[in-house]
Amino acid sequence: MNKRILPGQLVYWRNKGAVVHELKGLSEALIRTIDGESTELVHISDLSMSPKSERASNASHLDANQKEWDIAVKRYEIIRPLLENPNRSVSDIEEAAEVSGTSVPTLYRWMKKYGETGLVSSLLRPARSDKGGSRIDPEQEAIINKHIESFYLRKERPNVQHLFERIESNCYELGIPAPHVNTVYRRVNSLDEHVAVKKRLGVRSSKQQFQPLRGAFPGANFPNAVVQVDHTKVDLIIVDEQHRLPIGRPFLTIAIDVATKMITGFRITLDPPGASSAGLCIAHAIMRKEHWLARRNINAEWPIYGKMEKLHMDNAKEFRGLMLERACNEYGIIIEHRPKGQPNYGPHVERAFRTFMEKKHSLPGTTFSSVKDKLDYDSEGKACMTLSELETWFTAFIVYYYHHKPHRGNNNVPPIELYNRMILGDENRPGIGLPMPIEDEETLRLHFSPYFERTVQRDGVVLDNIKYYSPILRKWVNAKDPDQPGKKRKFIFARDPRDISQLYFWDPDTSTYAPIPYFNNTRPAISIWELKASIKDLQSGRSEINEEMIFTGIAKMRDLEEEAVEKTRLAKQQRASEKRKRRMVERRSHWKDVHKQETPAVSVAPHQSDDDEDVIQPFSDIQLGE
C-alpha cells in the first residue's frame, strides 16, 4: 500500500518534522511538531513524507537510458515483495538478499530511498557528482534496525522518542556518533504498516485494519487499490471555442476506483483513445481536484486522489505505449491489461458510462445511442457545447450527481459515502487514512503527457514542422550523445495537445521542465487537432509542408470558419425574416376574417302617400343665415 497519512504518522510540514494527531475530514490534519513548539491544523497538500533537503536526487525515468532504467525496475521488483509483505522480518530480508545476490544493508538502503519518494527513479544509480555525499554509517544503520526489531515492535508500544534514546545510548557505549532523531523517525516511518500494527497492536487489530473486504473484483479492497481506465465515444456533437461550429463527437476516457466506484479522473479529447489520453486521465486521477473545481466555479467536493496500486486497462495495443509504461513504472503503478475476449471484465466503468450517457441525452447536440432514438433530431443544428464546457458539465455530473447517487455495486451506498467510511473509518473498522499527495503535480502531469525526443539546433527545436526556441536551450545546441559520441544528443520534450504554442523541455541538469515557446512568437496558439487538419489539407493539395504553410492554412481555415459563421448568421436572419413575413401574412388574413361584417338584410318600406306624415329631409332643421 502506498504511504498514507494516519494518526501517529511522521510527516514534514514547512520542512519541519511533525506527528499527525488527528484527521479532520478528507482535507485537513491536526499535527504537532517534533520539537513540541506548536500544534497546527494544516491542509493535507502542505504535508510531505521527507524534508526537501533530504529527498532523493532529481534523477528521473526520462534521464535514464533503457539499460539504467531496467536496473532500477529490477531493484524495485526485488524490494516490492518486502514492502508489501505484512509479516516481513529480518530473516525475510536476509533471504531476499541471498536470492538476489545483494547485501542486507543494500536492500535496507533501497527500501529507504523508495520509501522517501515513492519513485522508482530513486533507485537509479547516482551520477558521479553525487559521490561523496553524506550517508548514514553502516554501524548506525545496524543499531537502528536492531532496536526497531527488538524494542520498538513490541506490544508495550514504546514511542519513537524512547526508541531514539535507546539508539543514542547504544551508540555512546560503542563510541560512535548517534544518528539524528529525524533519521530514526524516517526509519520507523518506512516500516511496513502491516508489520508494525501486527507486532505493536496484535493480530486482531491488524486484521481489522488490513484484512481485505470481500468483493467482486480481486484486490480491490480499499480506495486506489485497483483503478479501471476505459474509454467511449460520446453521443454528443461539440462546437469549436471561437465560432461555435460543429467539430465532431469527442472521446471520453475515465478512471474509476473499483472499491468505492468513485470516479478518480477523466479526459475528454477529439483524438481516438490511446496511451496519450489514458496517461493524461491517470495524471488527473492522481492529482488533487481543488484547483480543477475552482477554475470551473464548482463549489463541491471531489476528494479522491493519490497513486493507485494497480491500473486495469484495455488490452488494445494503443494502451501499451512506452511513455505510459515508463511513467507508471516511475510511480510504482502496476499495469494490468484486460484479458482478450473478455469485454465485460471492466463492468464498473461500463456502468458509469451508461449513467453518464443517460444524463447526456438531455443535452443539445446529442446524437442519441441509436437511429431509432434519434428520429428526426438535428444533432449538428442543435450542437452548442464546446469541449471545455462539456468538461465542466461532466465535472458537475460527477461531483453533484454520480458520487451521491446510491450505487448498486456498493449495496446502494453512494460512492462518496463509502469512500469516507474507508478513509476515515466508522464504528465497525478503522480507516486506512489519506493518501500522501504528490508534491509536484505539474511534473506528474507532464510525465504522463505525450513526449518526443529531439535534437537541439542553433535555431531551436522542430516538432511537426513548427520551430520552438528559448535561451535555456543554448547550452544544448548540437550536444553530443554521451553514450554515442558520434551522434547528436536527443532531449525530451512534452506537449499539451490542447495548446501546442509551447513545449516543455526536460532539462537534464536540473531535472525539471522548462517551457519552450514558438520561435516566432507572433503565431497564434493552436491545438494539435488544428495542426493535424492543416497538415492533412496541405497533403491533399500536395503542397510543401512547412511552418509558414501550416499557419497560413490554419489562418485560411479560421477565415473560412468566420465566413461560414457570417453566412450562417445571414441565412438565419433571412429565414427569420421570411418566417416573420409569413406570420404577418397569416395574421392579416386572420384579422380580415375576424373583422369582416355580414351585410344585414334590408326591409323596404312600402310607398307612402302624400297624406302620410311629413318626411324629414337631411339638414332640414338647419337654419341658414340670411
pLDDT in tens, 519-554: 998 888 888 888 887 777 777 765 667 777 677 766
Burial class of residue 585 (count of CB atoms within 10 Å of its CB; 0-12, 13-18, 19+): exposed
Does residue 54 surpass a pLDDT of 70?
no
| Higher pLDDT, residue 548 or 75 | 75
pLDDT digits (tens, 9 = 90+) for 331-380: 889 888 876 555 444 455 556 656 666 655 555 445 444 443 443 444 45
Element (H, E) at 594: helix 547-595
Per-residue pLDDT, 133: 41
How does strand 226-233 pair with strand 310-313?
parallel
CA–CA gap between residue 524 and residue 531 (Å, rounded) = 12
Q: What's 470's DSSP letter? A: -
Strand partners, 256: 228, 263
* Domain 1-48 annotated CATH 3.10.450: no
Confidence of residue 142 (pLDDT cuts 50, 70, 90): confident
Does residue 2 surpass a pLDDT of 50?
yes
CA–CA gap between residue 305 and residue 541 (Å, rounded) = 48
Q: What is the mean pLDDT of residues 78-101?
A: 84
Per-residue pLDDT, 246: 81
Q: What is the mean pLDDT of residues 217-235?
A: 82
Q: Strand, coil or helix: what is 28?
A: strand
Global pTM reads 0.68
Q: Which fold would CATH assign to domain 226-442?
A: Nucleotidyltransferase; domain 5 (3.30.420)
Does residue 264 surpass a pLDDT of 80?
yes
Q: What is the mean pLDDT of residues 615-625?
A: 46
Measuring CA to CA, how many Å separate 265 from each of 7, 230, 302, 334?
28, 11, 10, 18
Domain with CATH 1.10.10.60 in the chain: 60-210
Does residue 213 surpass a pLDDT of 90?
no
Confidence of residue 1 (pLDDT cuts 50, 70, 90): low
Domain with CATH 2.30.30 in the chain: 1-48
Please say whether the beta carbons of 58 and 511 come within 8 A: yes
Cell 456498493: give the residue: 410
Strand partners, 502: 517
Q: What is the mean pLDDT of residues 245-249?
A: 81
Q: What is the mean pLDDT of residues 55-75?
A: 70
CA–CA gap between residue 509 and residue 506 (Å, rounded) = 9
C-alpha cell at 381: 443544428
The CATH H-level superfamily of 60-210 is Homeodomain-like (1.10.10.60)
Per-residue pLDDT, 347: 52
Burial class of residue 330 (count of CB atoms within 10 Å of its CB; 0-12, 13-18, 19+): buried
Per-residue pLDDT, 422: 92
Of 117-126, 409-418, 440-449, 506-515, the range with the lowest mean pLDDT is: 117-126
Per-residue pLDDT, 514: 92
Per-residue pLDDT, 126: 66
Does residue 598 surpass a pLDDT of 60?
no
C-alpha cell at 64: 535514464
Per-residue pLDDT, 10: 80
Of 427-441, 452-466, 589-603, the range with the lowest mean pLDDT is: 589-603
Per-residue pLDDT, 615: 46
Confidence of residue 108 (pLDDT cuts 50, 70, 90): confident
Does residue 278 surpass a pLDDT of 70?
yes
Residue 151: name the closest of 111, 194, 187, 205 by CA: 187
The full length of the chain comes to 626
Q: What percent of the chain has pLDDT over 70?
A: 74
The CA-to-CA distance between both ends of the chain, in Å, stands at 125
| Higher pLDDT, residue 362 or 15 | 15
CA–CA gap between residue 71 and residue 34 (Å, rounded) = 37
Which distant-in-sequence residues (6+ apart) come within 8 Å of 303 by Cβ? 26, 27, 289, 416, 419, 423
Kindly provide the residue ranges of all beta strands, DSSP E only, lying in 284-443, ordered along the sequence: 310-313, 334-337, 434-435
Confidence of residue 609 (pLDDT cuts 50, 70, 90): very low
Kindly provide the residue ranges of all beta strands, DSSP E only, lying in 3-69, ordered along the sequence: 4-5, 10-13, 16-24, 28-33, 39-43, 47-48
C-alpha cell at 215: 468483493
Q: What is the mean pLDDT of residues 240-254?
A: 82
Burial class of residue 478 (count of CB atoms within 10 Å of its CB; 0-12, 13-18, 19+): exposed
Domain with CATH 3.30.420.10 in the chain: 226-442
Q: What is the mean pLDDT of the chain?
A: 78
Per-residue pLDDT, 368: 44
Per-residue pLDDT, 350: 59
CA–CA gap between residue 232 and residue 401 (Å, rounded) = 20
Residue 33: name the closest of 54, 49, 12, 52 by CA: 12
Does residue 517 surpass a pLDDT of 80?
yes
Per-residue pLDDT, 553: 67
